[in-house]
Each structure stands twice: as structure tokens, then as C-alpha cells.
Amino acid sequence: MSLKEDPTFNIYSERSSFKWIVLAISVVISASSIVYTSQLVQKIRARESKQIALYAKTLEYLSHEEELPNAVFILEEIVDANNTIPVIVANEYGEPDFYKNIPKADGISDPAKRKEFLLNEIQEMRDQHEPILVTLADQGQILGYLTIYYKNSQLLAQLKYYPYIQLSVIAIFGLIVFAVFNYSRTAEQNRVWVGMAKETAHQLGTPLSSLLAWTEYFKEQFPDHRDVFLELEKDVDRLEMITERFSNIGSVPQLREENVPDVVTEVVKYLQKRISRKVSIEIETFPSDDILGALNRSLFAWVIENIIKNAVDAMGGVGSIHVKIMKVSEGMVSIDISDTGKGIAKNRIKQVFEPGFTTKKRGWGLGLTLTKRIVENYHGGKIFVKSSEVDKGTTFRILLKT
Ligand SMILES: Nc1ncnc2c1ncn2[C@@H]1O[C@H](COP(=O)(O)OP(=O)(O)OP(=O)(O)O)[C@@H](O)[C@H]1O
Ligand SMILES: [Mg+2]
């Protein structure tokens, strides 16, 4: 079974549906938490209104009683049982006679100022709840009127905002966990890449130097077969270049000012001999042939090689590839590589850079992942699919600093 048939390897499509499931669950949790709390708020609000209505009733009843003690005093006694709902009792002139559970008013010592504060408070209470009018009467004789104003208890006020606070805290916590998780995953990926590359370069090194020595030896021993050994030497050189690439991936590569068209031309020359003759590759430079960019020659050659190889694959070996190198602005070079191949479907464009994504029988889906790493991590540049149309072709764009 190849890696691609292995269901555990195809993590990308699963990961995106997983994201939606997590999102759906969080929406359901948030919505139900808000609905539940708002029901709770409704219930408590109704209970508080009932409580105040009961005070009013008691007050009214007391006023019918013989030997009516000071009504306000009694109210105070009753309302004492309530130590949560802020209440103000005003007389028939609208002046506050008595208040309860308004700690701010307690803090104001000047009576005039306190009265002003309470009058403001009455306005606010009126917006929240309909005030209750109490008629004080004794044996059919009206003694006076009182108005009871009240507002939501602090508990209720807090409860109203509670789900939002709770959800924000959970969201912040979730974001932090996600960031840490993401960071550690990236760090782990980096370690794997760097470690694998270093190890590969290291392992290739020993047989390579021995191969090199052997070809030298045979070249001298068998001068008649020099041609063969020259060919062999070319392959050894290529192996050496591959080792250098891996060793560069495994360390912090040196960037140098290089002429970008030169590097690209070199790669194209090398590839042209090895790909189908029905593929033409042309290079265009703008505004001139001299376009400098800060790059690591061996790694950057790898980038161009990967993209051109993909282009050749996409065209099935027949078509044309156009490389356009431009100085787009001060300090910025762009390299556009266009092909006339089968293109990439819109919904796949995002995936082409992900490790393991391939549509080829013999592909590993690592070419573009590596390419992106080299361009972005090692050169501080950018690479993306500039445009692609199914059955028409694709353009990849690389942006490099100079
Ligand atoms: N120029 C292109 N035109 C159309 N599709 C492309 C092009 N370049 C890349 N792709 C798509 O992106 C996929 C991933 O490319 P990538 O180079 O990462 O892997 P690969 O070529 O499949 O395998 P390998 O690891 O051998 O390079 C390809 O399989 C192909 O479907
Ligand atoms: Mg490839």
C-alpha cells in the first residue's frame, strides 16, 4: 500500500471538516448558554417584581390598620428583609422619602446632593420597571400616596452579562491554546525537516567522497575510457549538489547578492536536457538582464527546479513554460513561472503547498512544501499561485528581496 492510499496520510480533508465540527459545537454551546442565562434572568426578574409588589400590598394594608405607626418606618422594617433589590419610596410630591440597597447614596453625606442623586436614580428605575403606586388610606379616608421605584438587583445585572464574560474568557483561553499548539506543531515540523536534511547530507557525504576518489583513480588507470568516467563524474557532481542542498536545508543558509536570471538560466539549461523536447522554456527579464536578488544559489536552484518539474508534469510533456523575472519595486524581485498545463482546480489551490498533497501516481507531495519553506523561511520571500485555470495553465509567483 502506498502512502497515498493510507487513509491516515490524507489528513487535510479531515482536518477541515474537523474544524467545522468544532465550530458548530462551540456555536451550540454559546447559544444554549446565552438562552439558559436569559431564561434565568427572566425568572429572577419576575420574582423581584413580585417581591416589590408584595411590599406595596403590605404597605397599603398597613395603612388601613388602626394605630398606624409611621408607614415609612414599617416599610423600612419589611424592606429590611430585602437586601438585594434597590428601592426608593417617594412621597406624593415625588421626593424620595426612603431608599434601600443603594450603597452609592449612603456614601453621599450632603442631603441636597443625595436627594439629587436619588432623583436621578428614580429616572433610571422608571426605565427598568413600572413604579408601584400605593394609596395610604384609613377607613376610607385617603391619607396620602407613595410611589415605590425599584430596579434589578446587582445579582440580576451581573447575570445578564455573565454569559458574555464567560464566553469571552473561554474564547481567549481557546485562542491561546490554539496558538501554543500551532506554535509547537510548527516547531516540531521544523525540527523534523532540519533533522532529516542534516542526516541525509551527513549519510550521503561518506560514500560520495569515496565515489569521487574512485572516479579520479579510474580516470587515470583507464585513459581509453575517459568519456565514461567524465559522465560518471557528472553524476557525482549532481550527487554533490544534492548533498549541498540538504546540508543547506539543515543549517542557516548564506544568502548572497546574485543575478537572478543567471541562476534561473543555469537551472533551465540543466533541465532542458532532461525533459521532453516538446516542452519549450523561455526566460524573459524586465527591465534588464541584471536583476539582483539575495539568495542561496543551491537552494534557490532547487526551488526553480521543483516548479518547472511540476509544470512539465502538468503539461504531460507537451507545451511551453514562460519564466518572467521582473524588478517590481525597489528591493523586490518577482519571478513568474507560467505553464500551459492542466491547471489547478480552485478548491485545491490552497492545498498544493501542504505536505502530502499530490495528484500524481508517483508523487510525494513534498516538492512545493519544500519550495515554500526555502522561499519563505530561508529567503524571507513569498510564493503563491498567482493564477490558474483548469486546462489552460498555471502561474506561480515568487517574490524575493534584493
Ligand atoms: N504547475 C502545476 N500545474 C498543475 N498542478 C500543479 C502544478 N504544480 C503543482 N501542482 C499540483 O500540486 C500538487 C503538489 O505538488 P508538489 O510538487 O508538492 O508534489 P508532487 O509534484 O505531486 O510530488 P513531488 O513530491 O514528487 O514533487 C501536484 O501533485 C499537482 O497536483
Ligand atoms: Mg513536484
The full DSSP string for 135-179 is EEEETTEEEEEEEEEE---HHHHHHHHHHHHHHHHHHHHHHHHHH
Counting from 1 in the atom list of ligand 1, the atom nearest the Cα of 339 is 1
* Residue 87 dihedral angles phi and psi, to the nearest 5°: -130, 145
Q: Give CA–CA dist 368/363, Å, rounded.
A: 11
Residue pair 297/256 in contact (Cβ under 8 Å)? The answer is yes
Q: Whose CA is nearest to atom 20 of ligand 1?
A: 365
Mean pLDDT for the chain overall: 88
pLDDT above 80 (res 63): no
Residue pair 154/90 in contact (Cβ under 8 Å)? The answer is no
Segment 198-244, tens digit of pLDDT: 999 999 999 999 999 999 999 889 989 888 888 899 899 999 999 99
Counting from 1 in the atom list of ligand 1, the atom nearest the Cα of 362 is 26
Q: Provide the sign of the torsion angle of the four alpha carbons 119, 123, 129, 130, taken in this order.
A: positive
Structure confidence at residue 83 (pLDDT): 79
Ligand 1 pocket test: pick from 4, 320, 358, 385 the residue with the most ligand atoms within 8 Å of its Cβ: 358
pLDDT above 70 (res 73): no
What band does 3 get if pLDDT is binned at 50, 70 and 90?
very low
Structure confidence at residue 335 (pLDDT): 97
What band does 1 get if pLDDT is binned at 50, 70 and 90?
very low
Counting from 1 in the atom list of ligand 1, the atom nearest the Cα of 366 is 25
Who lines ligand 1 at CB under 6 A?
A: 306, 310-311, 314, 339, 341-344, 352, 357-360, 363-369, 394
- Judged by average pLDDT, the poorest of 29-38, 105-114, 131-140, 279-288 is 131-140
Residue 9 CB partners (closer than 8 Å, separation 6+) = 3, 356
Q: Give CA–CA dist 297/258, Å, rounded.
A: 8
Half-sphere exposure of 102 (CA within 13 A, CB side): 24
Segment 356-389, tens digit of pLDDT: 899 999 999 999 999 999 999 999 999 999 999 9
With residue 325 as reference, give the H or E element that holds it.
strand 319-329
Running DSSP on this structure, what letter comes out for residue 255?
A: P
pLDDT above 90 (res 140): no
- Amino acid making up residue 79: V
Segment 238-292, tens digit of pLDDT: 999 999 999 998 888 889 999 999 999 999 999 998 999 999 999 999 998 899 9
What band does 11 get if pLDDT is binned at 50, 70 and 90?
low
What band does 69 get if pLDDT is binned at 50, 70 and 90?
low
Q: Give CA–CA dist 281/296, Å, rounded.
A: 23
Q: How far does the centroid of ligand 2 lie from the alpha carbon of residue 394, in Å?
A: 14
pLDDT above 80 (res 78): no
Q: Give CA–CA dist 67/75, Å, rounded.
A: 15
Counting ligands in written order, the one closest to the CA of 362 is 1
Give the start-end residues of each E strand in 44-140.
87-90, 96-100, 132-138
Q: How far does the centroid of ligand 1 lie from the alpha carbon of residue 22, in Å?
A: 30
Structure confidence at residue 321 (pLDDT): 97
Residue pair 349/384 in contact (Cβ under 8 Å)? The answer is no
Residue 103 CB partners (closer than 8 Å, separation 6+) = none
What band does 402 get if pLDDT is binned at 50, 70 and 90?
confident
Ligand 1 pocket test: pick from 352, 384, 391 the residue with the most ligand atoms within 8 Å of its Cβ: 352
Q: Give CA–CA dist 335/59, Å, rounded.
A: 87
Residue 321 CB partners (closer than 8 Å, separation 6+) = 279, 280, 281, 282, 308, 311, 312, 315, 337, 338, 339, 340
Q: How far does the centroid of ligand 1 lie from the alpha carbon of residue 304, in Å?
A: 13
Counting ligands in written order, the one closest to the CA of 3 is 1
Q: What does the domain layout of the chain look like in residue ranges?
A: 16-151, 254-401
Q: How far does the centroid of ligand 2 lie from the alpha carbon of residue 192, in Å?
A: 20
Output the nine-digit C-alpha cell for 277.
Answer: 523536447
What band does 2 get if pLDDT is binned at 50, 70 and 90?
very low
3-state secondary structure of 120: helix
Q: How far does the centroid of ligand 1 lie from the alpha carbon of residue 137, in Å?
A: 92
Give the start-end residues of each E strand in 189-311.
256-259, 279-286, 292-295
CA 84 to chain centre: 44
What band does 18 get if pLDDT is binned at 50, 70 and 90?
confident
- Amino acid making up residue 159: L
CB atoms within 10 A of CB 94: 9
Which of 77, 69, 70, 122 has its CA nearest to residue 96?
Answer: 122
Q: How far does the centroid of ligand 1 lie from the alpha carbon of residue 391, in Å?
A: 15
Structure confidence at residue 10 (pLDDT): 52
Matching CATH number, 254-401, of 1.25.40.10, 3.40.50.1100, 3.90.420.10, 3.30.565.10 = 3.30.565.10
Structure confidence at residue 61 (pLDDT): 75
Ligand 1 pocket test: pick from 360, 361, 364 the residue with the most ligand atoms within 8 Å of its Cβ: 360
Structure confidence at residue 55 (pLDDT): 80
Q: How far does the centroid of ligand 1 lie from the alpha carbon of residue 296, in Å?
A: 23
Q: Give CA–CA dist 112/89, Å, rounded.
A: 17
Counting ligands in written order, the one closest to the CA of 389 is 1
Ligand 1 pocket test: pick from 303, 310, 359, 366 the residue with the most ligand atoms within 8 Å of its Cβ: 310
Q: Give CA–CA dist 324/322, Å, rounded.
A: 6
Segment 145-175, tens digit of pLDDT: 889 999 988 888 888 888 889 889 988 998 9
Structure confidence at residue 67 (pLDDT): 54
Residue linked to cell 452609592: 104
Half-sphere exposure of 399 (CA within 13 A, CB side): 12
Which of 345, 324, 349, 319 has its CA nearest to residue 335?
Answer: 324
Q: Whose CA is nearest to atom 11 of ligand 1?
A: 352
CB atoms within 10 A of CB 260: 26
